[in-house]
Structure 1
Amino acid sequence: MTVAHIILLKLKPTVSETQAHDILKAVADLKTQLPSVVESVHLGVNFAARAKGFTHGFTMIFKDKAALETYDKSPEHIKVVTEVIRPNIEDIIAFDYEVEDYSIPRL
């Protein structure tokens, strides 16, 4: 079953717009680096007032939980997290779920 991987980032106030762009680009590039694992990447800058300080986010789609686990352990992902994301954030939220047909949710 398809899996959505949602990440919200609260960037440090010292992170410039260029640096923020570079962070999102590094995430987007993971689709190119891991084409058989990452099905799609959607990312952007928050514009909602109710985001509790989270400034940037992205959603990645995977074929199944096994693909997400492969991604999570990949050297490419680990490098982006440790070298690009972690040094530039105050906080992060990760939310993963299996995508259900809305008309028949399995609760």
Structure 2
Amino acid sequence: MLRHILLIQFTNTTREEDILDIFNVFHSVQKKIPGIKAITCGLNNSPEGLNKNFTHCITMDFIDNAARDVYLPHPDHEELKQQFVPMIKDIVVFDYSL
């Protein structure tokens, strides 16, 4: 299994409603693209203060690397990016095998 992590800093103009909407779009992708086992989204609530201005996280669990490789160029992912990328001030993408 592979975990795909997005640490996100949204732009100052991104509203909380926009963030909830994009989280819903991510969740809908799981039904459209095979090989995605789970998607979670959330707001940082760590008291440590080490988030370096990244406020939100999305994790996606894929059955394997091949499933992630299908997801990346998939038309539904490309459509999601059209909505998501304009909201991003900064992002870290990190994948690892479970």
- Determine if the TM-score, normalized by the shorter chain, exceeds 0.5: yes
Aligned to 1:42: 40
Give aligned pairs, total: 96
**C-alpha separation between the residues in 1 aligned to 2:45 and 2:13?**
19
Deviation at 1:70, TM superposition (A): 0.2
CA distance in 2, matches of 1:26, 1:76: 10
Q: Spell out structure 1 runs of 4+ moving beyond 4 A.
A: none
Secondary structure of 2:93 counterpart: strand
Runs of 5+ consecutive residues of structure 1 not aligned to the other structure: 100-107
% identical aligned pairs: 30
Partner deviation per Cα, 1:22-80 (whole Å, 9 max, x = no partner): 1111111111122x221110111112232111111111111111010001110001111
**Aligned counterparts, 1:35-74, within 5 A:** 36-48=34-46, 49-74=49-74
Larger radius of gyration: 1
- Structure 2 equivalent of residue 16 of structure 1: 15
Structure 2: 5+ residue stretches without partners? none
Q: Which amino acid aligns with 1:27?
A: F
